[in-house]
């Protein structure tokens, strides 16, 4: 099933099922507060895109990305439960690779954090991304009161990971360190 993307340019046009998915699919420490997300969607950052994924004419999920100029960072990606297992996730990754013509970068939980983390890493590996275990990486908190998280960066090509971390810290998380 080939996915279609619809870019959301106003948080008021976001389907409620997608907002619910965002809140349920990611623990609080792994997502930005809604008012920060809404500000980005409403035009707060030109490098940011929030796209709803449609498959077979039905809402299937969403993906948020940041274009650094050198790589495409996939910040959040989730599909609705009833749409999983249909190849949509892999098709989304392939479509992003085709559209951007840049290496992909994303963060995943450490494999020792549980079987879902291992499944997620395996999924991304099947779609051409490799974990960069030798590169220590800590996801900064999205807002005060939230926690930093040890993560693994995964890439689909040659990316300067120090420069990537600088982009993530300065543009995505608005943090230093």
* pLDDT value for 176: 52
Digit-by-digit pLDDT tens for the chain (177 residues) are 689 999 999 999 999 999 999 999 999 999 999 999 999 999 878 999 999 999 999 999 999 999 999 999 999 999 998 888 889 999 999 999 999 989 999 999 999 999 999 999 999 999 999 999 999 999 999 999 999 999 999 999 899 999 999 999 999 998 754
Going from N- to C-terminal start, the domains of the chain cover 4-172
Is residue 171 within 8 A of residue 45, CB to CB? The reply is yes
- Provide the 10 A C-beta neighbour count for residue 82: 9
Query: What's the CA gap between 170 and 177, in Å, rounded?
Result: 9
Closest C-alpha among 105, 150, 98, 164 to residue 131: 105
pTM here is 0.95
Secondary-structure class of domain 4-172 per CATH: alpha beta
Is residue 78 within 8 A of residue 61, CB to CB? The reply is yes
Parallel/antiparallel/unpaired status of strands 4-7 and 58-67: unpaired
Closest C-alpha among 126, 142, 134 to residue 76: 142
Is residue 3 within 8 A of residue 88, CB to CB? The reply is yes
* pLDDT value for 127: 95
* pLDDT value for 177: 46
Which residue has 């960069």 as its token pair?
Answer: 132
* pLDDT value for 11: 96
């Amino acid at each position: 099933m080939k996915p279609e993307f619809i870019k959301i340019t106003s948080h008021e046009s976001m389907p409620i099922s997608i907002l619910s998915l965002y809140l349920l699919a990611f623990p609080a420490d792994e997502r930005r507060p809604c008012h920060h997300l809404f500000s980005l969607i409403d035009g707060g950052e030109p490098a940011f895109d929030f796209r709803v994924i449609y498959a077979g004419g039905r809402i299937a999920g969403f993906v948020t990305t940041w274009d650094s100029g050198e790589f495409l960072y996939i910040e959040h990606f989730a599909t609705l439960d009833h749409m999983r297992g249909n190849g949509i996730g892999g098709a989304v990754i392939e479509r992003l690779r085709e559209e951007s013509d840049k290496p992909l970068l994303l963060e995943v939980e450490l494999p020792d954090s549980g079987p879902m983390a291992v499944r997620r890493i395996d999924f991304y590996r099947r779609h051409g991304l490799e974990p960069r275990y030798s590169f220590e990486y800590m996801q900064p908190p999205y807002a005060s009161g939230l926690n930093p998280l040890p993560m693994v960066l995964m890439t689909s090509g040659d990316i300067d990971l120090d420069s990537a971390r600088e982009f993530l810290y300065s543009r995505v998380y608005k943090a230093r360190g």
